[in-house]
Structure formats: C-alpha cells, structure tokens
Structure 1
Amino acid sequence: MNKIDTQWLIDQIRQEFKHILLGDGISLHQTDVVDDYLQDDEELMAKAKANDTDTRWWDVSIENIEKQNWGWPFFDIKGYRYYLPAFMTYYLKHAHRHDSDNAIDSMMYILDSDDYYQSYHATFNELQSRCIAMFLWQYCELNNWQDCDQAKNALVNYWDRFLSWCDNETDFQGDKEYGDGDTKNHKFAEPWLLKEIRAAFDKVRLEDGETIHQADTEGGVGLTKEQFKTLRKNDPEEFWWDIPLERFHAFSSIWSFLDPKGFRFYLPACMSAIITDPHRCIHEEWLIYALENISHYKQHPSFLTSDRVDILDDKQKRVVALFLWQYTLANNWQGDMQEEVSNALENYWFQFIQNEV
C-alpha cells in the first residue's frame, strides 16, 4: 500500500488553509477565560489575547501548542478553524516528540464529535475537509494503527466521506479495521490532478462574471437589472476553492447558462469537487455535457461556446483534458457518461494531452 507523504500533506494543509485568519475569534489563552465563564469580561479577554501574538496560524509557537492545548471545547468557530491547521501541522512535524500526542488530545476529541461540533466541521470546504481526513488517516499510519481509536472513530463518524475517489491509480489504498470492527476500503487518486487544477486556475477570479444564482435565472429572465445584481450576494466567495459542494448539488444545470467568466471561475471548483468526493457529486453529467458542447464549437460555433474556449488558456485546457481522461480511467471507460466524455476528448480536448497519455 502506498502511503501519504507527510511533507506533501503539510504543504497541502498550508495551501488549503492559508487564507484563514483568527480575527475576533477566541485565541488559545482566551480559552482559559472562557473555561472560567468570564468571557464577558472584556478586560480579561483582551489581556489573555495579548499573549497570542501570531497573526497567521503557521506562526503559532510550539510552546503555546504544547502548553495551551486543552482548551478546544472553548473555541468558537473562528478559533476552531484557525488553530486546527496549526495543530495538525505541529503533529505531522513533531510526531516523534514525547508530548506530541498529548498536545492534540483535546483537538482529536473535537474531530471525533458527531453532534454539537458538526456545525463547526461543516464550515470547511471540500479540499480543507479532505486535508483533515488525510491527517486522521496519516495519524493512524504514523502510529501503525495502534492506540488511535479516536482518530479511527472520527473517520468512521464523519471524515472518511472525504477520502473517496474512484481512480484506478491510487495515492494510497488499503483495508483497515477501525471503529467497531468495520472494514472499509479507501481509494485516493494521486493528488497531482488536484494540484494541477489549483496551479492552472489559481489566479482566476469571478470579476464581473455571472454567479451560480444568477445563472440559475437563465440570464435574468423575468428580473430587473437590480434584482439580477442582488443575486450575487448569495455567492460571496472570492476564491473558487471556497465554494461548497452543496451549491453544485442545488444548482446542477447552471453550466448551460453561465457566461464565460462564470464558467471559468466555477469550472475548477466543480472538477475538484468531483475528484475529491465523486460519490456525493452526483450531477457531474451537466458539467460533462457542457465540456462536450464546447468540443463541437468549430463545427457549430456560437457566441457562448467560442467565448468559453477563448477565455481558457492552454494550461487550463490541458487540465480540463486531464480531468476528462482521468474520468474515463476511473470508470474503466464505461458508464452512462462515457460516450459524452469520449466525444469531448476526441472532438477537442485530447489535443492538449496527446503527448502525455
């Protein structure tokens, strides 16, 4: 069984959580105050927060993590989101340290919680959740799957849903017994495809393109300009990797109506979602139809399809082609959408990867 490379996972955590800030969230030292039910004392809270001078989670000191690590039940959502990547990274870097397990005990309890803290877990996007799931798996690997019941239970109760992938070339796979004796087989695609998507589309922003909610109105049919503009508030994400998968479930047919800028912005998000958790992303056929439609633009040109082609650069087109190719491999060149994927590749996209596959 191939294993996750620890340094690669550290880099992934840094990449996917890099925009998370603490802001006015509860800091490490403030959890002491909250534990004493004194969180309404502004002076005490300010004094406690002054002990946490970091402004980025990767600057949280080892000393603070090892000495101030028990307060996880007292974080608010902002504190939870801010310190989780810091503690995960700490453990991956210092698993050999004598106190490393003690330092993350309280965090592991929260990750294993399947009731109150579900609302906290749900604030992470798909790629962040995948990093957390991989951390739990790697924790078990580093401990040879011994004395790691909490991590196993956390996977079973919630996080293992983010480990699914249907590729036949796996980053790691294996049968592990965990929880109450259940055996599950997890498969990962090699992470290179997610990295390729991120690299090719990293600088893409929506700008004045149509959002998902706007596209759902088929270009604003029946709406005033002001009503159409107001719909943008329902899609507040600045970065495409922060878009929740559930929005693609609810608005699966938007691919027929997005303008070129909207198409370019949401395309990498949906491809990444399908890769990360294909069993939940059940409406990928709409994206496949759109990519097949683009492949016919030379034979049947239209304003929409030609502009969608022109707005993508060659690196982005290559990534789309790799996504389609991997989709066929994952489904063993079979399945309901195989004809459409094959047509899309043959008619247009394959030219961008013909020297690679």
Structure 2
Amino acid sequence: METGRQCMVTGVGEPIIEQADYVMRQEPDNIANAKAAVREAFAGVTLGGGVGLSEAQALDDYASNEVRAACRAGDEKNDWAAIPLKDLNRHSGSPAFLDAEGMRFHLPAYMIADLDGDYRHEFATYLRGCHETFSLLTPLQRNAVEMYLRAISEKENLPSCQDDIERALEEWVDSARSPVSD
C-alpha cells in the first residue's frame, strides 16, 4: 500500500515536474546570455568621479560632507565585479541616489546579482524613468540592460515586481527606438 501512495503522488506531480523542467531549461540560457552581455558591455567600467555605493547611502541619510567623503573612501571604484553581494543587498536604496557615472558602474553588479538570484530586493524600479541617470550608457550597455530585463521577466516574480519589470522593459525598448537628445 505504501508503494501505491508513492506512485500516486509521483503520478500527480509528473506534469508539474515536466513543466518545471521546461521552464528551467529555458531560463538558464536567457540568464546566461544576459549575464554574458552585461559582463561584456560593462567590462573595464570604473566609477570615475561618480557617486559610490556607500556614498549614495550617505546622501540618502543627509550625512555631512565629511561623512560622505569617508563613505566614498571605502567604496569600490575600479572593478564593479568586486563589489561584495552583502553591500549590494545592504545598500538596496542606493541606486536612487547614484549619478550617471555611479549608475553605469554599479548597474552591472546589481544586474548580475539579480540574475544569479542573490539580490534580495527589487531592482527593476530603478530602471524606470530618470533617463539622465542612464545618459552615459553605450548602445551595447543599453542592450545588456534590455537583455537583463527580458531574462528576469521570464522568472517567477511577485505580481508587483513583474509589473515594474514589464514597465521598465517597455521604457527601455521605447527609448531604444527614440533618438537620444544631446
């Protein structure tokens, strides 16, 4: 009788498992392609004079110039891939306070963390509006952002997150069609 129950449970779950296998087979290629596009497009990007991750948090906290400078001193400036995941998760509100240089530098780190499933917050909201924040992105970098949005739109998302992802994707596609004004 125990065996019968196991067969019954297995029989009931097979369609779900097959569906999950199909979804999982599709997803990794899109995620892997998006990650490769992000790494290629943002290779060699440095922070320059842009706002750093901890510095952005200091801006959010209305910190003094001295505190802001101290925060900036500890920020990664040369290799976005070296930014610790814990810092990305700890400073989940920082993208709202990044300037164009800061966004160009931190954007790939956030996207890769999200694609890997390691970012614990919603990132797509920071990709909506604020076109000046993305003014320094090259066409290759813009394409990588679009690939990221397409890849995460295919993942299992909360409805509110899915809505932000779809709206962000729509804005990125629309902006690609529109000429950039100088």
Q: TM-score range by the shorter chain?
A: 0.7 to 0.9
Deviations 1:145-172 (A, max 9, x none): 854110101112x2124789xxxxxxxx
Q: Out of 15, 18, 21, which is 2:40 matched to?
A: 15
Offset of residue 79 of structure 1: 0.8
What is the percent sequence identity of the aligned residues? 22
Unaligned 5+ runs, structure 1: 165-244, 248-357
| C-alpha separation in 1, matches of 2:37 and 2:145 | 10
Q: Which amino acid aligns with 2:134?
A: H
Change (3 A) 1:5 1:109: closer
Deviations 1:113-156 (A, max 9, x none): 2xxx1122232121211110111111111126854110101112
| C-alpha separation in 1, matches of 2:109 and 2:149 | 14
Q: Which amino acid aligns with 2:173?
A: D
Structure that is richer in strand per residue: 1
Q: Is 1:112 the counterpart of 2:131 in the alignment?
A: no
Q: Out of 62, 67, 89, which is 1:37 matched to?
A: 62
TM-score scaled by length of structure 2 = 0.72
CA contact (8 A) 1:13 1:89 kept: yes
| C-alpha separation in 1, matches of 2:86 and 2:77 | 13
| C-alpha separation in 2, matches of 1:144 and 1:28 | 26
Change (3 A) 1:32 1:154: same
**Bigger RCO (CA 8 Å, 6+ sep):** 2
Structure that is richer in helix per residue: 2
TM-score scaled by length of structure 1 = 0.39
| 1:113-132 pair list within 5 angstroms | 113=129, 117-132=130-145
Offset of residue 246 of structure 1: 6.3
CA contact (8 A) 1:136 1:151 kept: yes
Q: Which amino acid aligns with 1:78?
A: E
Change (3 A) 1:162 1:9: farther
Q: Is 1:81 the counterpart of 2:104 in the alignment?
A: yes
| C-alpha separation in 1, matches of 2:163 and 2:74 | 34
Larger radius of gyration: 1
Change (3 A) 1:14 1:122: same
Partner of 1:209: none
Change (3 A) 1:133 1:87: same
CA contact (8 A) 1:133 1:159 kept: yes
Q: Is 1:159 the counterpart of 2:175 in the alignment?
A: no
| 1:188-199 pair list within 5 angstroms | none
Unaligned 5+ runs, structure 2: 1-22
